[in-house]
């Protein structure tokens, strides 16, 4: 490897993690996460709850992330460390859709919480890719990760 690639390899890569655990007989969903990916519970195309961030400004902070370089993950093995978790009661919220997304989309959505319906309505990868490119070109969406999972409730 040349010196630039060797340096990048030694620094490693970083990622966020967001997971859901459903109980078959309960409206409670357990959400766990590290980093700046978010979940948004929506009703009628509007955000009614988000986690771990609730405002777009929170995306300006540097989150704890998972790393490909082992020593960067030492926080996972510290005695006091627990994976941040939320118990989300879907029945109590009246949520009809969950949106799981990475930081660029989360930032956009928390700036436009009434526009969740735009993300819910995507019918395929090509339509989503076109929406992302159009919003990036207009300066409305950061040029960063844009992963989206739509979960009907």
The reported pLDDT for the residue numbered 139 is 96
CA-closest candidate to residue 142, choices 102, 104, 103: 104
Residues contacting 54, CB < 8 A, separation 6+: 110
Q: How far apart are CA 16 and CA 103, in angstroms?
A: 9
Say which residues have a Cβ less than 8 Å from residue 93's Cβ, sequence separation at least 6: 41, 43, 48, 49
CATH class as words, domain 3-152: alpha beta
Encode pLDDT of 10-34 as tens digits. Answer: 777 888 999 999 988 999 999 999 9
pLDDT at 9: 65
Exposure of 137 by Cβ count < 10 A (0-12 exposed, 13-18 middle, 19+ buried)? exposed
**What are the two backbone dihedrals, phi and then psi, of residue 117, each rounded to the nearest 5 degrees?**
-55, -30
**Closest of 120, 50, 119, 58 to residue 88, by C-alpha:** 50
Q: Which residues of the chain have pLDDT under 50?
A: none
* pLDDT of the residue at 2: 74
pLDDT of amino acid 75 = 82
| Of 61, 9, 74, 72, the residue nearest 35 (C-alpha) | 61
């Amino acid at each position: 490897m040349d010196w630039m690639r060797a340096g990048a390899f030694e620094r490693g890569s970083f990622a966020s993690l967001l997971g859901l655990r459903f109980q078959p007989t309960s409206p409670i969903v357990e959400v766990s996460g590290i980093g700046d990916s978010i979940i948004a519970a929506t009703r009628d195309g509007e955000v009614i709850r988000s986690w771990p961030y609730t405002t777009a400004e929170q995306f300006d902070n540097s989150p704890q992330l998972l790393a490909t370089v082992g020593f960067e993950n030492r926080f996972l093995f510290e005695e006091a460390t627990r994976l941040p978790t939320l118990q989300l009661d879907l029945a109590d919220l009246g949520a009809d859709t969950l949106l799981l997304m990475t930081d660029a989309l989360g930032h956009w959505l928390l700036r436009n919480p009434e526009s969740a319906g735009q993300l819910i309505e995507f019918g395929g990868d090509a339509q989503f890719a076109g929406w992302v490119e159009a919003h990036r070109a207009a300066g409305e969406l950061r040029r960063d990760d844009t992963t989206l999972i739509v979960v009907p409730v």
